[in-house]
Amino acid sequence: MRSPARLVTGTAAAALAAAALGLAAPSAHADSLGRPETAAAAPGAADCGAEGTADTGMADSCDSTGAAAGGPAEGLEPPDAPETVELEPLDGPDPLDDLEAAEDPAAVPEPSWPETEEESEAGAGDEAGAQPGTGTGTAPGTQPGTHPEPGTDPGSAKPPVPPGHRPTSTPSPSRPSGHVGTGTGGSAAPDTAQLAAGAGLVGVAAVGAALLLRRRRAGGTRY
Amino acid sequence: MDRTALRSRAWLVGIAALCGVWLVHNGAAVRTAAPQPTTAEAFAAGSGPRPGTRHAQPLRPSAPVRIRIPGIGVDAPMTGLGLGPGGSLDAPPSGDPNLAGWYEDGTPPGAEGTAIVAGHVDNAEGPSVFYALGSLKKGSTVEIGRKDGRTAVFSVDAVEVYDKDDFPDERVYDPTPHASLRLITCGGGFTRETGYQGNVVAYAHLTEVR
């Protein structure tokens, strides 16, 4: 007649194993969820987020975020800076055409070949800046300056400033970009209520397990 | 006691232990305590003022001096903010928990365009001026007292939360044809390693001038 006892032992062991798994599982879960996030966030923004760290070596990664976000504009600046005057009148209308051409090669109305070549020679940086940028919509609008301004571009809402001011540092001197680091976590805290409830449940379970074990032992001797 | 009863009790104990362990694990993780906006407060479509709301004529530019948000008990002085490296908006000094900032190279609140106001959700000691920003609702009022003695009254159109790697610059910062206001603080998830994961942004437009 040992089978009942054994069965109970089996279930108790199963429960314990399950509990142990439960212990391990959430943390594994948390890791798999949490880590990549942190990793992903790290290059971009860990820097700007917590103020404590903002001033260390993170300025660079901040910059890179800025570049990624405001991409096109920044990419354009260095190569353009020396020859803005020459390029702008020439390229003013072109980048738009080229972009359209890129989107829809068949629909090119004008012989844009020479222009494209010009661009790739003279304005290689220009192209590089404009193409990979995320906000290509804004870039062509603001960059060529005078020409497309009446058009769509929302970034041109500060029209007087950007064209003259371009060569300075930021994408658009009159508009911030990216997130704002406005918290250090002093109000973030563990959930004490949940902690207490959990601890209580674990305690109850422990007592229950002890009682069961004792009963089982008693049962074992009896049978 | 028969063996089925024993077995069911063993299961009960196991389940209780599991739940307890899960609760402890979950509760021990540091989390954002500040209220976060629900999806009900997000824009339904587009990102403009809610249809059917009042619009006031934009004011002439004048610097803001004080912000009041009666719904969440905010009444704080304001300071000017610039841009940090990378072009992101600086935060106001975190030492003073009751201080908001505005982007002073941009549009002043009440003038035509998009005025940007930022405040801390917390500092190292605890909650700060915009702690409860995430609990604003559509239609909540925001009052900005200005240097010229006028008070610009705004109505909240939406409150949204964004991951910082996915921050919608155009939606938040781009100028609008009316007098708009953006209130920004930290939000989203929080981890010890990387701090807050994003920003809470409240969108509002000018409805009244006093």
- Which residues from chain B sit within 8 angstroms of residue A9, using beta carbons? none
Q: How close is the nearest chain A Cα to the Cα of B25, in Å?
A: 7
Q: Cβ separation of B13 and A209 shorter than 8 Å?
A: yes
- Residue A215: give the domain boundaries: 194-223
| B146-167: pLDDT as tens digits | 999 999 999 999 999 999 888 8
Q: What pLDDT, on a 0 to 100 scale, did the predictor assign at position B28? A: 78
Confidence of residue A161 (pLDDT cuts 50, 70, 90): very low
Q: Cβ separation of A50 and B197 shorter than 8 Å?
A: no
**Mean pLDDT (whole number) for B87-113:** 90
Confidence of residue A147 (pLDDT cuts 50, 70, 90): very low
**Together in a domain, A198 and A137:** no
Confidence of residue B206 (pLDDT cuts 50, 70, 90): very high
CB pairs under 8 A between A and B: 299
Domain spans, chain B: 1-30, 33-209
Give me the residues of B, 64-83, that contact A with CB < 8 A. 83
> Is some CB atom of chain A closer than 8 A to the CB atom of B135?
no
Confidence of residue A15 (pLDDT cuts 50, 70, 90): very low
Q: How close is the nearest chain A Cα to the Cα of B85, in Å?
A: 6
Percent of chain B scoring above 90 in pLDDT: 48
- Which residues from chain A sit within 8 angstroms of residue B131, using beta carbons? 187
Considering its fold, how many domains does chain A have in total? Answer: 2
Question: With 90 as the cut, is the pLDDT of residue A58 above it?
Answer: no
**Together in a domain, A144 and A218:** no
**Mean pLDDT (whole number) for B63-90:** 91
Q: How close is the nearest chain B Cα to the Cα of A213, in Å?
A: 9
**Together in a domain, A79 and A156:** yes
Q: How far is CA A44 from the centre of its chain?
A: 7
Closest CA to B136 of B202, B188, B196, B44: B202
- A2 belongs to a structural domain: no
Question: With 80 as the cut, is the pLDDT of residue A86 above it?
Answer: no
Chain-wide mean pLDDT for chain B?
A: 89
Closest CA to B166 of A133, A178, A135: A178
In whole angstroms, what is the distance from residue A19 CA to residue B16 CA?
Answer: 9
In whole angstroms, what is the distance from residue B199 CA to residue B210 CA?
Answer: 30
**Mean pLDDT (whole number) for A145-170:** 43
Question: With 50 as the cut, is the pLDDT of residue A70 above it?
Answer: no
Q: What pLDDT, on a 0 to 100 scale, did the predictor assign at position B156? A: 93
Q: Cβ separation of A182 and B126 shorter than 8 Å?
A: no
In whole angstroms, what is the distance from residue A209 CA to residue A187 CA?
Answer: 38
**Mean pLDDT (whole number) for A119-126:** 42
Among chain B residues, CA nearest to A138: B170
**What values do phi and psi take at B40, rounded to 5?**
-65, -25
Report chain A's terminal Cα–Cα distance, integer Å.
Answer: 6
Pairing, β B195-209 against β B113-119: unpaired
- A187 belongs to a structural domain: no
- Which residues from chain A sit within 8 angstroms of residue B190, using beta carbons? 183, 185, 188
Q: Cβ separation of A178 and B193 shorter than 8 Å?
A: no
The Cβ of residue A110 has, within 10 Å, a number of other Cβ atoms equal to: 10
- A84 belongs to a structural domain: yes
Q: Cβ separation of B87 and A176 shorter than 8 Å?
A: yes
Helices (H) and strands (E) in chain B, counts: 2, 8
- A41 belongs to a structural domain: no
Residue B85 burial (C-beta neighbours within 10 Å; 0-12, 13-18, 19+): buried
Confidence of residue A220 (pLDDT cuts 50, 70, 90): low
Angstrom distances, CA of residue A15 to CA of A12, A20, A196, B7 = 5, 8, 22, 10
Q: What pLDDT, on a 0 to 100 scale, did the predictor assign at position A27? A: 41
Q: Cβ separation of A182 and B91 shorter than 8 Å?
A: yes
Q: What pLDDT, on a 0 to 100 scale, did the predictor assign at position A176? A: 87
Instruction: State the DSSP H helix or E strand holding residue A120, giving kind and residue range, or none if neither.
Output: helix A113-122
Kindly indicate whether the domain formed by B33-209 is annotated with CATH number 2.40.260.10.
yes
Question: With 80 as the cut, is the pLDDT of residue A56 above it?
Answer: no
Q: Cβ separation of A178 and B164 shorter than 8 Å?
A: yes
In whole angstroms, what is the distance from residue A183 CA to residue B130 CA?
Answer: 10
Q: What pLDDT, on a 0 to 100 scale, did the predictor assign at position A143? A: 45
**Together in a domain, A133 and A209:** no
Q: How close is the nearest chain A Cα to the Cα of B40, in Å?
A: 22
**Together in a domain, A154 and A215:** no
**Mean pLDDT (whole number) for A48-59:** 41
Confidence of residue A132 (pLDDT cuts 50, 70, 90): very low
- A49 belongs to a structural domain: no
Q: Please identify, among A165, A183, A213, the residue that sits at the C-terminal boundary of a domain.
A: A165
Give the residue, B153 or A182, on which the prediction is more confident: B153
Q: What pLDDT, on a 0 to 100 scale, did the predictor assign at position B4? A: 83
What proportions of chain B, in percent to the nearest 5, are helix, strand and coil?
20, 40, 40
- A127 belongs to a structural domain: yes
Q: Please identify, among A119, A149, A165, the residue that sits at the C-terminal boundary of a domain.
A: A165
Give the residue, A76 or B57, on which the prediction is more confident: B57
Q: Cβ separation of B170 and A195 shorter than 8 Å?
A: no
Confidence of residue B74 (pLDDT cuts 50, 70, 90): very high
How open is the CA angle A188-A191-A197, to the nearest 5 degrees? 175
Bridge partners, residue B191, by sequence: B195
**Mean pLDDT (whole number) for B192-203:** 88
Pairing, β B64-69 against β B141-146: antiparallel
Q: Please identify, among A144, A165, A186, the residue that sits at the C-terminal boundary of a domain.
A: A165
In whole angstroms, what is the distance from residue A103 CA to residue A72 CA?
Answer: 17
- A10 belongs to a structural domain: no
Q: Cβ separation of A186 and B127 shorter than 8 Å?
A: yes
Report H helices in chain B.
3-28, 169-173
| B11-48: pLDDT as tens digits | 888 999 999 899 888 877 777 778 889 888 888 878 88
Asked if residue A212 lies in contact with residue A12, where contact means CB atoms within 8 angstroms, the answer is yes
- A204 belongs to a structural domain: yes
**Together in a domain, A161 and A205:** no
Chain-wide mean pLDDT for chain A?
A: 52
